[in-house]
Structure 1
Amino acid sequence: MPPILLPTTTAAMRQELLVRLARQAYRHGLFTLASGRSSDHYVNCKPVSLSGLGLALLGALLLEQVEPEAAAVAGLTLGADPLVSAVAMRAALDGRDLDALIVRKEAKGHGTGAWLEGPLPETGRRITVLEDVVTSGGSSLKAVHQLRQAGYTVGRVVTIVDRQEGGLEAMTAAGLELRSLFRLEEVAATAAGLR
């Protein structure tokens, strides 16, 4: 089997990732989302974000969206776990000091009772939040809340896919900038073209 080669330009990486999301992460049908709402579209990025090439692509593309002054990337477990790891690894390969933090869904039930896992930066430092899919923005906002409670500055959330269902408005209302690699309509259109 020949070695898998990572595309070398941002445009080529973005196209490869879009096709992988359309094939492996997107489904069309009738689905009930975590919010309880029904949707004709379902996006589960884990088949891509837990694959070797998917992680390489995501690490490079998400890192481009992380604020230059950020000391770390963070996200709510479970969807953001591979993303923060991939971005921290890519940053290290690029010679940039950027750590990864995981925000728990609830405080650790023993030991320190921590909400955050990973090498904690000094309080006051900037952290960029990563997310796999933004729908209403609830998961991202929970992560932002915990990071701000711990004394960090958070101004940007970066997601793989924005489902375009209120997340942008929720982020704006919370004083956050939302950046997305793709919007749901792009992934859905690519998936339809591959059928």
Structure 2
Amino acid sequence: MNPLNPPLDEIKENLLTLLAQKAYRYGDFSLASGKKSSHYVNCKPVSLSGPGLLSISSLFLNQINERDIGVAGLTLGADPLVSGVVMLSAQSGINLSGLIVRKEAKGHGTGAWLEGPLPPKGSLITVLEDVVTTGGSSLKAVEKLRSEGYLINQVLAIVDREEGGEDAMSKADLNLNSLFFLKEIVERAKSLK
């Protein structure tokens, strides 16, 4: 076995520990969805680190549909995820475009909602997300991509908080596939104390 290419189950175990150590906090928090929670997960300290992004990208790339032409996500949480998957796919000989969905149309120039090399209309694209609570951010990205003529049937997330996101995705004819559930990160964080 090549130590530079560990098996996916080992990558996943190591990523779970990284998330528990660097992304998870226990306390009193207001979430982007407006909900209150004792559990907060901010994946950016992991997704913006070399080892973290490599692990996430490896696990996501393994779940990309063979027919996908690209990956996309709503800025800012998905920016490193899209970049990491696109770079790793190129290194693996897989051609994927990366698209970043703006929260607002660009206020100058072309007024674009999407940034990146635009694939042909009708292309299949997977949406990437860091944390899913109610699914609002992912659904906003999906809505913009679909309005531009792209086909979206899957959202890949690092963490599903299991607070309605999967139901919301299902209603929008999407599969939500997450690397972890919040409870797994909480359990790992407790075991590390």
TM-score range, shorter chain: over 0.9
Matched with 1:93 is: 91
Q: Deviations over 1:114-152 (max 9, x none)?
A: 000000000000000000000000000000000000000
In structure 2, distance between residues paired with 1:135 and 1:67? 24
Q: CA deviation at 1:6?
A: 4.6
CA contact (8 A) 1:7 1:13 kept: no
Q: CA deviation at 1:55?
A: 1.0
Matched with 1:23 is: 21
Q: CA deviation at 1:30?
A: 1.3
Matched with 2:130 is: 132
In structure 2, distance between residues paired with 1:34 and 1:176? 21
Q: CA deviation at 1:36?
A: 1.9
Q: Which runs of 5+ in 2 are unaligned?
A: none
Name which of 107, 112, 115 aligns with 1:114.
112
RMSD: 0.9
Matched with 1:186 is: 184
Name which of 71, 74, 82 aligns with 1:73.
71
CA contact (8 A) 2:33 2:136 kept: no
TM-score norm. by structure 2 comes to 0.97
Name which of 26, 31, 34 aligns with 1:33.
31
In structure 2, distance between residues paired with 1:129 and 1:182? 16
Matched with 2:82 is: 84
TM-score norm. by structure 1 comes to 0.96
Aligned CA distance change for structure 1 residues 7 and 17 (closer, same or farther; 3 Å): farther
Moved over 3 A (4+): none
Q: Secondary structure at the match of 2:18?
A: helix
CA contact (8 A) 2:19 2:43 kept: yes
Name which of 148, 151, 159 aligns with 2:149.
151
Q: CA deviation at 1:12?
A: 0.5
Q: Secondary structure at the match of 1:111?
A: coil
Matched with 2:42 is: 44
Matched with 2:57 is: 59
| Aligned residue-pair number | 191
Structure 1 vs Structure 2: percent identity of aligned residues? 59
CA contact (8 A) 1:132 1:160 kept: yes
Amino acid at match of 2:137: S
